[in-house]
Structure 1
């Protein structure tokens, strides 16, 4: 929860920060956007180090120290520019949680249990954006600096837990022939995974379908305040619907993903390959476009609020089913690079989500609410065909990639 809470905790305090630090709305909003973009890029480096040197614990500890130190500096900042720089460093520190946490799950769970484990893991992540703004109300009683002191204390508790209860989980063991060679650290090594078509196509689909839920988040305040005359506090309560959908989707999606995988293994004479897990994504891939397409057009026509909340719940539920299944597939397919493939997936997902959040008001003004959702849903439906291709060709592509890597290694030796 650390990363999403740190990302959203400032929301209730943005106006107060703007007034106290005497800056513009554009600059103050940069505190949010810079966090998202750094949270997208920085995990690539953390994951590259983790996978290259086969360590999770050291990366966790280092990243948490970066987070705590930068958060303390944020708390004592006297001007917006220092706060902005430290906010970027804070994002870099907290960003390791997602990729390294996913790698730890890959280390300690077998493939038939991994989906449920990821469901619990991502449950905390997707609930974070709803908990963060609640923590932000510390501003009302203690001042905005206490938000950062709270995060620093939270980070300190996590470091203690890591030191006391988290052993090294990486199972990668260097061979004796590698002992005499010096490992070169490539901070952008995870990007090399894009040369595998199955990774690229799945990442594109996950990024697009995840951006749909972010587009909806951004569109809620203007639509529900103008169309239904709801107050900001009432609008905040509407987010219970997607929060519930994300929670159920993460938990049920994880269990369903493992159930489908075990069933397919039994049907295949107890032999398995990662693409079997993709079967569990089909239900979510169908539910998402149906829910959001109906939501967009009914919202444009000021339809019943309860019906819209049900559709929002179903769309969030479907999104998490897809996200959990395909994230687990990527880790199953590249277990030795689990941190890297997770970081790569999240990098593109955050970049697309950040871009969609910026463009959403322009799209809605130009196209209208219904056609905006129709456009993003259409992109999701087209990109879903990429996953169909991966289901049929993914195994072949991976085997070709493994063969090329083996030949390359033999040539080097």
Structure 2
């Protein structure tokens, strides 16, 4: 099925309760439904009607509409965004196994300060989305993504040349702000290009970077820090990021339908000398609205969504807890395999492949089942789709997360043969992917017109926790040891297993009770 991604400004983004007649004419409402093959053809995208002063697409098959791009073009654009989305989290973790060499080189003995130089990058992820997501819904995905990419690349130079720890921390912070761009805007690009029944696979591919990058990074960074020095980690990131950013600069194009129609409206208004024309995506909004008003309204969206949508706030907090557990997990891996098993810095990076393997298995499982499950649940629901149909799968995956903490923690604590703790990491990766993806797709499906802002809410909350929680890792494991320290995390994960059940049973009720108008 094809969908229209962007709501008219006079409609709420949660209008799933509208009548059948409205579904056939309003793109925002049609978004909430997956039609059966026998259903009559619906008017999926708003069309131009100059008699009424409305500017939309030139028919349902308008090739300028990103939803009508060829399959190859859609997946090609997604691959471009996915490539830089891999580089960004790679930069967050690639530096971590070499942090000891930084301490030696810059004369820093404080483990907390060195750990902060790693996690400060995630604080950039906390700040960046709140600015970049709304800007992409004002100026478009392409220009904002390009600027964020180059911002990430440029600050790698500052990291590589940093003469002291203070400069390194500041440069890492700004690099993180730039790196948050693809993590935030990818959700918007998926909403722009893909219909509901393809978003599970599209989101799985795009999510490879945020989840695989933190696993691959330590592997490469460990060997580089050990052989050619920690500064070369940043030079390599600069080169890799620069090559990908250059490719995006030449091959990427705008996909945000609301902006494309706004530009078309301005062009027709000038050509036809008509001041009454309005965009079909914002019929009640003056196309000549001031930049100040547009920015003020746009920059408030992620905050409004977090405050006024309890279901999004709860999902954000739940993801933040699991994400924080991931980074606490990462706190001990390198030291355990160096101190307990006598591995070198470079070889110890291989231990992260256990959790990386879990990520790949979870990704494959989600990619193969997510869209199929949604289609079946939609058919059972009389052909009507609800975003909460993405959430029941989380119940299954949540059960895998606690297992890793007990398995890895006690096998490492007792110095069991090295393969045992590595395998023990895999269930966490599998479970985390199964929790991350449904939540990610849920906000894209529920807020397609403002998917970037909705995703910014998720990214900001989880990154804030991910940045600060690892600072408690060293004191935690020093006090309790690997066995009981990881067991504590395992008990926390166990306590959160019922949460997905609550989301699945009451999510729709909560969403409909607290509708949010982001227009």
Counterpart check, 1:10 vs 2:88 = no
Matches for 1:280-359 after TM superposition, within 5 Å: 280-359=393-472
Q: How many equivalent pairs are there?
A: 405
Maintained 8 Å contact 1:248/1:317 = yes
Correspondent of 2:175 among 90, 100, 109 = 90
CA shift at 1:148, angstroms?
3.0
Counterpart check, 1:159 vs 2:159 = no
User: Tell me, which stretches of 5 or more residues in structure 1 are unaligned?
Assistant: none
Could you say what secondary structure the match of 1:314 adopts? helix
Separation of aligned partners in 1, 2:406 and 2:446: 32
Residues 388/54 of structure 1: CA separation in 2 closer, same or farther (3 Å cut)? farther
Query: Mean alpha-carbon deviation: is it higher for 217-226 or for 254-263?
Result: 217-226
Matching residue of 2:327: 214
Matching residue of 1:150: 236
Matches for 1:163-178 after TM superposition, within 5 Å: 163-172=249-258, 174-178=281-285
Could you say what secondary structure the match of 1:242 adopts? helix
TM normalised by structure 1 equals 0.87
CA shift at 1:372, angstroms?
2.9
CA shift at 1:359, angstroms?
1.4
Matching residue of 2:136: 50
Maintained 8 Å contact 1:202/1:386 = no
Residues 365/50 of structure 1: CA separation in 2 closer, same or farther (3 Å cut)? same
CA shift at 1:129, angstroms?
2.4
Counterpart check, 1:260 vs 2:373 = yes
Q: Which runs of 4+ in 1 moved over 6 A?
A: none
Query: Mean alpha-carbon deviation: is it higher for 330-339 or for 220-229?
Result: 220-229
TM normalised by structure 2 equals 0.71
Maintained 8 Å contact 1:203/1:345 = yes
Maintained 8 Å contact 1:42/1:96 = yes
Separation of aligned partners in 2, 1:87 and 1:269: 51
Maintained 8 Å contact 1:68/1:155 = yes
Separation of aligned partners in 1, 2:334 and 2:228: 27
CA shift at 1:256, angstroms?
1.8
Residues 329/271 of structure 1: CA separation in 2 closer, same or farther (3 Å cut)? same
Maintained 8 Å contact 1:244/1:313 = yes
CA shift at 1:278, angstroms?
0.8
Could you say what secondary structure the match of 1:185 adopts? helix
Maintained 8 Å contact 1:296/1:370 = yes
Could you say what secondary structure the match of 1:167 adopts? coil
Matching residue of 1:181: 289
Matches for 1:10-89 after TM superposition, within 5 Å: 10-25=95-110, 27-51=113-137, 53=138, 55-89=140-174
User: Tell me, which stretches of 5 or more residues in structure 2 are unaligned?
Assistant: 1-85, 262-280
Maintained 8 Å contact 1:139/1:147 = yes
Separation of aligned partners in 1, 2:133 and 2:335: 38
Separation of aligned partners in 1, 2:284 and 2:130: 28
Maintained 8 Å contact 2:218/2:352 = no
CA shift at 1:273, angstroms?
0.3
Maintained 8 Å contact 2:120/2:467 = no
Could you say what secondary structure the match of 2:253 adopts? coil
Maintained 8 Å contact 1:71/1:86 = yes
Matching residue of 2:16: none
Residues 197/12 of structure 1: CA separation in 2 closer, same or farther (3 Å cut)? closer
CA shift at 1:383, angstroms?
3.2
Residues 111/149 of structure 1: CA separation in 2 closer, same or farther (3 Å cut)? same
Separation of aligned partners in 2, 1:235 and 1:384: 31
Separation of aligned partners in 2, 1:3 and 1:93: 8
Query: Mean alpha-carbon deviation: is it higher for 163-172 or for 288-297?
Result: 288-297
Structure with greater helix share of residues: 1
Matching residue of 2:314: 201
Residues 311/329 of structure 1: CA separation in 2 closer, same or farther (3 Å cut)? same
Give the RMSD, CA atoms, in angstroms: 2.7
Residues 255/162 of structure 1: CA separation in 2 closer, same or farther (3 Å cut)? same
CA shift at 1:142, angstroms?
5.3
Separation of aligned partners in 1, 2:340 and 2:163: 40
Separation of aligned partners in 2, 1:156 and 1:221: 29
